Amino acid sequence: MFGISALWHGLALTDLSELKINLKTYLLLSGCAYLIIALGLVLFVRLCIIREWISLKWGFPWKGMAIGAMAGIVVYLVILLLGLSFANHGFQHMVVDLLWQVVEQAVGGLMVSLGIIYDLHRSFMETEQAQ
């Protein structure tokens, strides 16, 4: 999520050239923010699995993406309410920014679900080798 955000804001929109704070400070703070978002995604997906709100049997990566997309909406609303934006370009900018947050966090949700699948597969293989 951090990498695609840097590509989006740095290359596609050139927002990073208009920063009002030091680039190192921005990268440090945004890195911390993305770690917190990722941790929240991991914990929520694990909670959903434990409570059996979602199943691993069918379409689990898609469900992870849906959870990530919902997280993107929440992240966008927090950013909007706090007034943390690169620029004020009106309604069109708000819609594009919202869509970007949804896509970005959906990719994060996909990565979380693939990581959980890998972890479960590795645990299964270790159990099989022990028997």
Q: What is the pLDDT of residues 43-101, one digit of tens each?
A: 999 999 999 999 888 899 999 999 999 999 998 888 888 776 655 667 777 888 889 88
Average pLDDT, the chain: 85
pLDDT of res. 10: 64
* CA-angle at 98, arms to 106 and 7, nearest 5°: 65
What is the structure's pLDDT at 1?
77
**Both tokens assigned to 112:** 């979380």
Is the pLDDT assigned to residue 27 strictly greater than 90? Answer: no
Lowest mean pLDDT among 14-18, 37-41, 47-51, 101-105: 14-18
The C-alpha angle 119, 124, 128, rounded to 5 degrees, equals 150
What is the pTM (predicted TM-score) of this model?
0.80
Selected residue with higher pLDDT from 97 and 13 = 97
Ramachandran region, residue 31 (left: φ > 0; alpha: ψ -120 to 50; beta: rest)? alpha
d(CA 97, CA 13): 11
| CA-based nearest residue to 79, from 92, 99, 98 | 98
How far apart, in whole angstroms, are the C-alpha atoms of residue 105 and residue 127?
A: 33
Closest CA to 112 of 43, 34, 29, 31: 43
